[in-house]
């Protein structure tokens, strides 16, 4: 309901006019059918600027709780989430990863472009961290290509803790689709999932120019938070929607 209103009237035109985001490789995005846009994740605003530079609608996954708030604040949050293309994930007592997988598969099978951050969280320091294999499993099960994406300088425009991005050149680089036919039927093969995920992360690193770190970003964030608590200072803030 709110997506077209936000993108084409309320948010899209003024944001594009003010920030002037640029895009390379837009032709690598399929014109039709389901596909995964696998992106690095530097800032909360990644989920705003990526859909903004593309003609097709992009959807993301988010907690269902973002859509159930009461009062004006709850309405505003729900409207914003719908406006930037967030699909609610209903956990239903199951694991969050399984709920996200089911919801993502439904979107892909419906022919949607699904934006995913394989690192699972925003980079704490601008480096690119090890990808989680859910992106590979989802692509194999749905039979759709994975398109690598690099967000450029969104962390400079909007560092962690800053609510509104500063005016700074922001770019999106899109690589050639990664075909998954060779992995057909191997969605339960851990080695295959790891191999395909690593291919995706290398493609993102080539586009972004980031240093690649062979470790889990969320685990590293927890280590930083423990160190901050031990030192008696505030740790990194919790991830906002889209992480």
- pLDDT per residue as tens digits for the range 167-181: 999 999 999 999 999
8 vs 185, higher pLDDT:
185
Considering the domain boundaries, does residue 153 fall inside one? Answer: yes
Q: Is 121 inside any structural domain?
A: yes
The answer to whether residue 161 is domain-embedded is yes
Q: Total structural domains in the chain?
A: 1
pTM of the model: 0.86
| pLDDT, position 239 | 46
Q: Which of 189, 93, 81 is nearest to 141 (CA)?
A: 189
Residue 141 has pLDDT above 70, yes or no: yes
pLDDT of residue 20: 95
Helix (H, G, I), strand (E, B) or coil at 156: helix
Q: Is residue 59 part of a domain?
A: no
The reply to whether 120 falls in a domain is yes
Task: Return the half-sphere exposure (C-beta side, CA atoms, 13 A cut-off) of residue 225.
Answer: 10
- Kindly report, residue by residue over 186-214, the tens digit of the pLDDT: 999 999 999 999 999 999 999 999 999 99
Give a yes or no: residue 62 inside a domain.
no
- Residue 224: inside a domain: yes
Find the domain containing 199 and state its range.
22-43+94-231
149 in a structural domain: yes
């Amino acid at each position: 309901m709110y997506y077209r209103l936000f993108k084409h009237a309320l948010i899209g035109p003024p944001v594009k006019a003010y920030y002037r985001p640029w895009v390379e490789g837009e032709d690598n995005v399929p014109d039709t059918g389901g596909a995964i846009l696998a992106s690095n994740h530097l800032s909360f605003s990644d989920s705003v600027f990526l859909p903004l530079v593309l003609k097709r609608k992009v959807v993301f996954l988010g907690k269902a709780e973002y859509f159930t708030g009461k009062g004006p604040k709850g309405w505003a949050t729900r409207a914003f989430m719908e406006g930037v293309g967030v699909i609610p994930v209903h956990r239903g007592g199951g694991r969050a990863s399984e709920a996200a997988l089911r919801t993502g598969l439904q979107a892909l099978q419906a022919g949607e472009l699904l934006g995913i951050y394989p690192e699972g969280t925003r980079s704490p320091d601008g480096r690119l961290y090890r990808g989680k294999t859910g992106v590979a499993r989802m692509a194999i099960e749905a039979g759709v290509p994975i398109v690598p994406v690099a967000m450029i300088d969104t962390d400079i425009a909007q560092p962690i803790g800053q609510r509104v991005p500063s005016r700074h050149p922001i770019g999106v680089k899109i690589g050639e689709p990664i075909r998954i036919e060779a992995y057909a039927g191997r969605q339960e093969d851990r080695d295959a999932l790891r191999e395909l995920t690593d291919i995706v992360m290398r493609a993102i690193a080539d586009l972004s120019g980031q240093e690649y770190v062979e470790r889990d970003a969320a685990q590293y964030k927890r280590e930083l938070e423990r160190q901050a608590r031990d030192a008696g200072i505030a740790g990194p803030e919790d991830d906002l929607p889209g992480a």
